[in-house]
Amino acid sequence: MTRFLPQEAIRQKRDGVVLEGSTVRRFIEGVTAGEVSDAQIAAFAMAAFLRGMTPSETVDLTLAMRDSGDTLRWDDLPGPVADKHSTGGVGDNVSLMLAPIAAACGLYVPMISGRGLGHTGGTLDKLEAIPGYDVRPDERRFRDVVREAGCAIVGQTARLAPADGRIYAVRDVTATVESVPLITASILSKKLAAGLPSLVLDVKTGSGAFMSRREDAETLARSLVEVAQGAGVAASALVTDMDQPLASVAGNAVEVANAVRFLTGERQDTRLREVTLALCGEMLRLAQLAGTAGEGAAMAARALDEGRATERFGRMVAALGGPADFVERFEHHLPQAPVRLEVPAGEAGTVQTVDARALGLAVVRLGGGRTRAEDPVDPAVGLTGLAPIGRRLEPGDALAVVHARDRASAEAAIADVRAAFRLGEAGASGPAVIGRIG
């Protein structure tokens, strides 16, 4: 075989040449084997960032990254397999409810999730607030839990799409994160390695999203759907609003508690229910368990309201090492912050805008997120009772409640939270689901 020269692939992409599939595969094989240096990865990423990639190139890149490690198969399950992926937001704990709701409707959901990134919370960080919950089970246990409970939410192993991990680490420090083809390949390579025949994407837009402009979110959503379909996966995407937190809470343990209250019907934030059921409806439509997304959403609502999803959630938690009575005694099991202080409104008015990103960063500063990958996360801290856009407040009414480790950090968070809200004479929330693609 002719010796592969990574610099030639870089030169071609730099000059705007459409790369052949064999060239893309050999470059990624070199990344995985250590034959391609970090400098060459950075040069390739910058060339792709500046020149772009065609849909066919992005499909080739996605498949090569998928095939850089293990791939899972679920042929032994007696029903359809499906999953969803969110681009991340603040107060977005949809996965915690969506997986058991979908399972209660007949889907099998092997959900591989990630940790917090920047101002956004991570599903794994939330689940680690549950005592004993194993976010990194071995493959056999992962499979057993999916079969038994219908769903399992776990973390990515080092053997799934390892090329993505190396490429992303380089992109993170070379100003090439925002490339739509590279984001697409990064997201889909991991999901395809999980062996999914269908996938729903939740692409956020607004102040709390990575894609703050709607047109950028729609561009990414179209890319994800087109490339997933080109790789043989049934896919669709919802573009959802992140101009305010999706739930009335933000943090780790507080979002798990919110999820349990949602599942049991004790409390369901309106926008959170809208997004969760819409995504479930798309999943059931793609898996052909419902004729339309609307029919699927109605199926999901019944599974939720009848308590079948709650039972699935409890089974999943127990099967992955959490308390068997977690649903019944979640307040006892979850860590509690020792300091809780209200954030009073300084004036009367209606909530007009909320800087969701600022609220996410307030949680990070409390210790509920990371500024470095190796930082520990405090599961107990966060925000609850977040006032939504459109709520009328009088002076002294609470904008939110801060849960903190000490009074000094609580006082700092109060200032951050107050600055994130703007009150005026009028304000109204728009729909949480603002677009559908695919």
pLDDT tens per residue across span 161-185: 999 989 988 987 888 888 999 999 9
Q: Residue 396 contacts by C-beta under 8 Å, 6 or more apart in sequence? A: 344, 345
pLDDT digit string, tens, across residues 312-341: 999 999 999 999 999 999 999 999 999 999
Q: How confident is the model at residue 117 (pLDDT cuts 50, 70, 90)?
A: low
Mention every residue, 6+ apart, whose C-beta is less than 8 A from residue 83.
109, 110, 111, 112, 191, 194, 196, 198, 199, 200, 283
**Residue 85 annotated among the catalytic residues of the structure:** yes
Tokens of 205: 């837009």
- DSSP states of 215-243: HHHHHHHHHHHHHHHHTT-EEEEEEEE-S
Which of 174-183, 244-253, 419-428 has the largest mean confidence? 244-253
**Rounded mean pLDDT, 45-53:** 96
Boundaries of CATH 3.40.1030.10 in the chain? 83-330
Whether 416 is catalytic: no
190 given a catalytic annotation: yes
- Provide the percentage of residues in the chain whose pLDDT is more than 70: 98
Percent above pLDDT 90 for the chain? 87
**pLDDT value of residue 420:** 97
Residue 306 binned pLDDT confidence (cut-offs 50, 70, 90): very high
Instruction: Using the predicted structure, report yes or no on whether residue 290 has a pLDDT greater than 70.
Output: yes
Mean pLDDT of 412-424: 97
Query: What's the pLDDT band for 113 if we cut at 50, 70, 90?
Result: confident
Q: Where in the chain is the domain with CATH 1.20.970.10?
A: 6-66
Mean pLDDT for the chain overall: 94
Q: Which helix (H) or strand (E) holds 327?
A: none
Give the CB-side neighbour count of residue 291, counting CA atoms within 13 A: 0
Which of 84, 126, 166, 333 is catalytic? The answer is 84
Active site residue 126: no
Class of domain 336-424: alpha beta
Query: Of residues 13, 26, 115, 190, which has the active-site annotation?
Result: 190
| Residue 236 is among the residues annotated as catalytic for this protein | no
Catalytic residue, candidates 25, 66, 85, 403: 85
Reply yes or no on whether the pLDDT at 121 is more than 80: no
For the CA atoms of 131, 137, 140, 141, the dihedral, rounded to the nearest 10 degrees, stands at: 10
* Catalytic-residue membership of 191: yes
Q: What is the pLDDT of residue 373?
A: 64
Assess whether pLDDT exceeds 90 at residue 369. Answer: no
Using the predicted structure, report yes or no on whether residue 200 has a pLDDT greater than 70. Answer: yes
Architecture of domain 6-66: Up-down Bundle (1.20)
CATH node for 83-330? 3.40.1030.10
- Tell me which residue has tokens 């973390």: 155
Strands 109-113 and 83-86 turn out to be unpaired
Confidence of residue 372 (pLDDT cuts 50, 70, 90): low
Give the helix/strand (H/E) hosting 355: none
Confidence of residue 375 (pLDDT cuts 50, 70, 90): confident
The whole-number average pLDDT for the span 25-32 is 96
- Contact of 252 with 126, CB cutoff 8 Å: yes
Distance, CA of 308 to CA of 302 (rounded, Å)? 9
Mean of pLDDT values over 395-401: 97
Q: pLDDT for 205-230, tens place per residue?
A: 999 888 889 999 999 999 999 999 99
Which letter does DSSP use for residue 388 in this model? Answer: P
Total count of residues recorded for the chain? 438
Give the mean pLDDT of 366-371.
86
Model confidence band, residue 1 (pLDDT cutoffs 50, 70, 90)? low
Give the per-residue pLDDT at 88. 86
CA 55 to mean position of chain CA atoms: 23
In a 13 Å sphere around the CA of 313, the CA atoms on its Cβ side amount to 29
Residue 427: what pLDDT? 79
Residue in 186, 205, 207, 276 annotated catalytic: 186
pTM of the model: 0.92
| Angle at 21 (CA atoms; ends 16, 22), nearest 5 degrees | 110
**Is 84 labeled as catalytic in the residue annotation?**
yes
Give the pair of three-digit tokens for residue 179: 């490339």
Every domain of the chain with CATH number 3.90.1170.30 lies at 336-424
> Of the residues 66, 126, 191, 271, which is catalytic?
191
